């Protein structure tokens, strides 16, 4: 299987603080990779470097074999979608309007074409009947799902998720994870930062434990949970999985 994303000895510091210290790993197309690690270990920074919301200091990141630093940033961001913890929807636009905006402005679609694509993607996240609702009328889980639909509508090759459920009430987490699970089953390539260990165990192909900006251990989730090589992995996953 061809590699879609590769981190090659990536370094990043903020001032004196070294946040990523030589991160290297790759993901194949259709892979789902979950990254876990303590607060401040560099997980968000790692994701942000992929679509160049953060620029790295050293090393390189390749998307389908090409350095992201050689790409036009807008072109890169059309290929790599991102869903954050609390997605920002435009309050004065409906769910449908939030999804069509990028299709109109970035993809240059006609109004009717954008509407069709947006409706299909809202349906994909289970929100076909909320297309005309405004963000204030949606639950946190529904808002996150609109954010996913918005990212999906751009037909990204890779989706980055940074703790997409961590701001949600417990009863709403499952609906968002369910959508992500469906996307994984449909073959979407996903790099996901989450503390949801049930999702990691059942959906991830690979689990990466990041600590102090370094990959401590990486492998199939069941191996990291059952037979980790590193004591530190055992301690960390044991705590999350309790
Ligand atoms: N733009 C920035 N400017 C300065 N320091 C930053 C910046 N972004 C991140 N950092 C620092 O880099 C370190 C890693 O941050 P990062 O957000 O990547 O961690 P994280 O693993 O995502 O943590 P959390 O689990 O709390 O989200 C932290 O010490 C953070 O304060
Ligand atoms: Mg973070």
Q: Does the beta carbon of 35 lie inside 6 Å of ligand 1? A: no
DSSP element (H, E) containing 233: helix 231-240
Nearest alpha carbon, ligand 1 atom 8: 45
In this model, does residue 1 exceed pLDDT 80?
Answer: no
Model pLDDT, residue 86: 84
Distance from the alpha carbon of residue 130 to the mean position of ligand 2, in angstroms: 30
Nearest ligand atom owner, CA of 38: 1
Domain residues for the domain of 78 are 3-240
Model pLDDT, residue 18: 97
Contacts of 36 (CB under 8 A, 6+ apart): 43, 193, 194, 195, 200, 207, 208, 209, 210, 236, 237, 240
Number of domains in the chain: 1
- Report d(CA 178, CA 102) in Å as an integer: 25
Q: Does the beta carbon of 2 lie inside 6 Å of ligand 1? A: no
8-30 confidence digits (pLDDT tens):
999 999 999 999 999 999 999 99
CATH number at residue 90: 3.40.50.300
In this model, does residue 202 exceed pLDDT 60?
Answer: yes
pTM: 0.95
Nearest atom in ligand 1 to 15's CA: 4
Q: Does the beta carbon of 135 lie inside 6 Å of ligand 1? A: no
Residue-by-residue DSSP string for 98-149: HHHHHHHHTS---HHHHHHHHHHHHHHTT-GGGTT--GGGS-HHHHHHHHHH
Q: Does the beta carbon of 16 lie inside 6 Å of ligand 1? A: no
43 burial type by CB count under 10 A (0-12 exposed, 13-18 middle, 19+ buried): buried
Across the chain, which distance is largest between two alpha carbons, in Å?
Answer: 56
Mean of the per-residue pLDDT values for the chain? 95
38-97 confidence digits (pLDDT tens):
999 999 999 999 999 999 999 999 999 999 999 999 999 999 999 998 888 999 999 999
Distance from the alpha carbon of residue 220 to the mean position of ligand 2, in angstroms: 22
Q: Does the beta carbon of 44 lie inside 6 Å of ligand 1? A: yes
């Amino acid at each position: 299987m061809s590699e879609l994303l590769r981190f090659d000895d990536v370094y990043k510091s903020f001032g004196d603080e070294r946040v990523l210290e030589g991160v290297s790993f790759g993901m194949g197309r259709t892979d789902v990779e979950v990254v876990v690690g303590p607060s401040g270990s560099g997980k968000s920074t790692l994701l942000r470097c992929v679509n160049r919301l953060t620029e790295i200091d050293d090393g390189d990141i390749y998307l389908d074999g090409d350095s992201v630093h050689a790409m036009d940033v807008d072109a890169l961001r059309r290929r790599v979608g991102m869903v954050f913890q609390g997605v920002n929807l435009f309050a004065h636009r409906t769910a449908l309007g939030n999804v069509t905006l990028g299709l109109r402005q970035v993809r240059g679609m006609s109004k009717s074409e954008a509407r069709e694509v947006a409706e299909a993607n809202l349906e994909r996240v289970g929100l076909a009947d909320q297309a005309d609702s405004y963000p204030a009328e949606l639950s946190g889980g529904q808002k996150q799902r609109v954010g996913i639909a918005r990212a999906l509508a751009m037909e990204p090759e890779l989706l980055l998720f940074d703790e997409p459920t961590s701001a949600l009430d417990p009863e709403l987490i499952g609906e968002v994870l369910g959508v992500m699970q469906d996307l994984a089953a449909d073959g979407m390539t996903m790099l996901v930062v989450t503390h949801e260990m049930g999702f990691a165990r059942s959906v991830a192909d690979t689990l990466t434990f990041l600590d102090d900006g370094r990959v401590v251990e990486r492998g199939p989730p069941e191996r990291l949970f059952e037979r980790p090589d590193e004591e530190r992995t055992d301690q960390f996953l044991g705590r999350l999985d309790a």
